[in-house]
Amino acid sequence: MIISTTILATVFVAFMLYNLRNFLIKPVVQCLDIKIGETKILFISDLHIPKSLKIRDKFSIIGEFMKKNNLRLLFIIGDLFDDFHVKASLSEIEEKIRKIVDILDLPSNVTMYVIFSNSSHDPIIGNKKISITCGRRRIIVTNNLIRLTIGNMKIYLLHGDLGVKNGALAYLLNKIAWFLGYPYLIERFTKRYILRVEDRDWLIMGHTHIPFISDEFKVANTGSWKQYWRDSSSTAILYDKGRLSLINLKQCSTNEYESAMEKTS
């Protein structure tokens, strides 16, 4: 009991100190507002595709899943790339994104929003909004927070590196907090204290590589597609007719994604 209390107190103090700046000065978070009428949306993050685009992972299951289930809207919530954290030229970013459309085997009528992470991995683009067309596909790249409005539902989308910038540290903090009885620490902290989002609205993040969905706190994490020292989860969050679910795309062998739905908390 004393040990766990000490660990919790240490973690809490370290976390507060690390984020002190965000407590004192509310970070300026630019927001991109999107209102849509789609009934199905896929959210993924943390693909960590190398800049060389030489990959062995089968990312095409993302596009295959979208085609099978008639999904036309995709949000990639950060860490799309693994080693591309430089001020790249617009033409280089465009070229790589077009190739990623191929790697993911996306539907020909897809609209894809990409939120670049800011701390590492993704290109540095400042506050630029980049629009790319690729046949009938529309791609919008930003590094801002996205506020998605679907009817009465509001979903905030953010990579999640505003507070704890290092993904491995974010992972560790979430695991320890979870173990000590405070689940989803980073997501709940980001939602309440950094973004000051209303309780009834949702926040979907990436960054920690721990997939989950919590109806209680209305926070979710898309997981990751890269095998580091942490496993790849191959997960996504699916919006379908007003409901959000955590799904595992590697378990989708049929047209029906119901089979891939994991237990929601």
For binding to Mn ion (CB under 5 A), which residues are involved? 46, 79, 167
C-beta closer to Mn ion: residue 7 or 86: 86
What's the closest the beta carbon of residue 46 comes to Mn ion, in angstroms? 4
Radius of gyration over every alpha carbon of the chain, rounded to an integer in angstroms: 18
* Cβ–Cβ < 8 Å for 246, 220: yes
Least Cα distance to 88 among 47, 137, 121, 54 occurs for 121
Q: Looking at beta carbons only, is 208 or 245 nearer to Mn ion?
A: 208
Q: How far is the CB of 97 from Mn ion (least distance, A)?
A: 18
- How distant is the alpha carbon of residue 209 from its chain centre? 9
DSSP code per residue over 228-243: SSSPP--EEEEEETTE
Separation CA 248–CA 234 (nearest Å)? 6
Helix H segments across the chain? Answer: 2-18, 20-24, 60-68, 90-104, 167-179, 185-189
Instruction: Tell me whether residue 46 or residue 240 sits nearer to Mn ion (CB atom).
Output: 46
Minimum CB distance to Mn ion, residue 21 (Å): 22
CB of 252 to Mn ion, least distance (A): 22
Residue 43 or 257: which CB sits closer to Mn ion? 43
Q: Which is nearer to Mn ion, 79 or 187 (CB)?
A: 79
Shorter beta-carbon distance to Mn ion: residue 107 or 167: 167
Q: Which residue is nearest to Mn ion (CB)?
A: 79
CB of 161 to Mn ion, least distance (A): 9
The least distance separating Mn ion from the CB of residue 169, rounded to whole angstroms, comes to 12
Residue pointed to by tokens 């704890």: 164
CB atoms near residue 27 (< 10 Å): 10
CB nearer to Mn ion: pick between 167 and 183: 167
**Beta pairing partners, 75:** 43, 113
Residue 137 corresponds to which tokens in the numbers above?
Answer: 């596909």
CA distance 140 to 130: 6
191 vs 70: CA distance, rounded Å: 31
Closest distance of CB 132 from Mn ion, Å: 22
Would you report the helix, strand and coil content of the chain in percent, each value rounded to 5?
A: 30, 25, 45
